[in-house]
Amino acid sequence: MGRGRVQLKRIENKISRQVTFSKRRTGLLKKAHEISVLCDAEVALIVFSTKGKLFEYSTDSSMERILERYERCSFTERQVANDSEQQGNWSLECPKLMARIEILERSLREDLDPMSLRELQHLEQQIDNGLKRVRARKNQLYNQSISELQKKERALHEQNNMLSKSASGTLQTREFMNEDEEAIAQIQPNTIQIPPWMLRHVNE
């Protein structure tokens, strides 16, 4: 009969746990070295024991350089994922785009020769995605500017129409007043002044 699957759980015995940690750690470091040599991969391995002791392994490119690459890739992927789920305000988008541009600039300043084909393709995809987002945002702002200008144009047109109607009404009112004055002047009888010496004869 074959051996059953052993259930993984914490080793309660402290001494056995320490011995197992030492053996597994050695095997893990050996596997990390093998995959880096056989597959020409950059590997960084960090292990802390229960007491907080550090054990690490990295390829010839050094731990710092590998961690820096990891930070760039993980940060970019997180930003792209967050941006696809949220509609960012431009005031919030600008710092994100600046951070991506800085990341790409740092990547381009590095020597591209050590980078593998997969890494170069990933970098190219980052650049393409960044350019697409910049173009999309630029077109959005351009359309918003056109819409705002059209609204202002309509508002000015309506204001001019109101001013024209107001001026036309004032002119018509003045014309009506002039016509009324002329009509009143025509209706009023002509007043004739009689000399005083004729008044006596009229009264008699």
> What's the helix, strand, coil split of the chain in %, to 5?
70, 5, 25
Distance CA 119, CA 52 (A): 33
DSSP secondary structure letter of residue 158: H
pLDDT greater than 80 at residue 30: yes
Sequence-distant (6+) residues with CB within 8 A of 106 are 72
pLDDT at 80: 56
Task: From 138, 160, 140, select the one nearest 148 (Cα to Cα).
Answer: 140
pLDDT greater than 60 at residue 75: yes
Q: How many CB atoms lie within 10 A of CB 104?
A: 16
pLDDT at 139: 82
pLDDT at 173: 58
Distance CA 25, CA 41 (A): 20
Distance CA 25, CA 55 (A): 8
Average pLDDT over residues 39-58: 87
At residue 52, φ and ψ (nearest 5 deg) are 90, 10
pLDDT greater than 80 at residue 8: yes
**Using one digit for the tens of pLDDT, what is the confidence trace for 88-113?**
555 566 666 666 666 666 656 555 66
pLDDT at 90: 56
13-60 is classed CATH 3.40.1810.10? yes
Tokens for 179? Answer: 């016509």
**Using one digit for the tens of pLDDT, what is the confidence trace for 15-28?**
898 899 999 999 99
pLDDT at 108: 62
Tell me the residue type at 111.
Answer: D
**Using one digit for the tens of pLDDT, what is the confidence trace for 151-200?**
888 878 777 777 776 666 555 656 656 665 565 555 555 544 555 555 55
**Using one digit for the tens of pLDDT, what is the confidence trace for 56-71?**
888 876 788 888 878 8
**Using one digit for the tens of pLDDT, what is the confidence trace for 109-134?**
555 666 677 777 777 787 778 778 87
pLDDT at 23: 92
